[in-house]
A = this chain, B = another copy of it.
Amino acid sequence: MSDRARHIPEATVARLPVYLRSLAELVDEKIPTVSSERLAEMAGVNAAKVRKDLSYLGSYGTRGVGYDVEYLLFQMSRELGLTHDWPVAIVGAGNLGSALANYGGFTQRGFPVAALFDSDKAKVGQTIHGVEVHHTDDIAPLAKELKVGIGVIATPASAAQDAADKLVQAGVGSILNFAPTVIAVPDGVSLRKVDLALELQILSFYQEHRDLDS
């Protein structure tokens, strides 16, 4: 590990939360150490990959023994930025937006809903799960003031790009898009998507071909 110059590969980053969850389970079970093999089994990947992934974080294992569960959990939380809260802004106070705001596990996992936005003036002023709904025109000043780092887009597809633009303008660096459409963000802004229809269609492909090829 070249000290500090370490750039963690994207594929690894995407797996870290899975390891984290496995480690949390092990802590619950009061298991003090874990081998890469056991962790691999829990995370549903191969052991070599676990070792390589963890090696990007530093040399936290002990040969012949394994990894200290609590210590690794702490290091990983730190690396993932989970040692402090990340206030989240949700754009779109419709079905999905409200459901997300009402979902407690959100706040509980360190992502408190700091603000809700909607373009419908009838919704502005309402309170959902203790959070007031503001107008989308106020995203920039409010999100800045509340130090929102992560924005969630829960609007219809047609409003998604506009929501993204406003979040970016507010200095939000990470966006999670639930709208079934492709949105563009400038370099340096992280973007991930959750798209139900897309997932089903991908499964449909494999299902169809399983049938054809059999």
Q: Please report A residues at the B interface, Cβ cutoff 8 Å.
A: 13-14, 16-18, 20-22, 42-44, 79-82, 86, 88, 95, 99, 105-106, 109-111, 149-150, 173-176, 180-184, 188, 190, 192, 194, 196-210
Contacts and interface: CB of A to CB of B under 8 A. Distances in A.
A17 to B, nearest CB: 4
Nearest to A182: B44
B202 A13 contact: yes
B203 A18 contact: no
Copies in the complex: 2
Contacts of A88: 200
Given A81-B204, A182-B43, A204-B86, A210 B198 contact: no
Given A18-B198, A173-B210, A192 B184 contact: no
A197 B44 contact: no
B204 A82 contact: yes
B206 A174 contact: yes
A98 to B, nearest CB: 11
B203 A174 contact: yes
Contacts of A14: 202
A13 B206 contact: yes
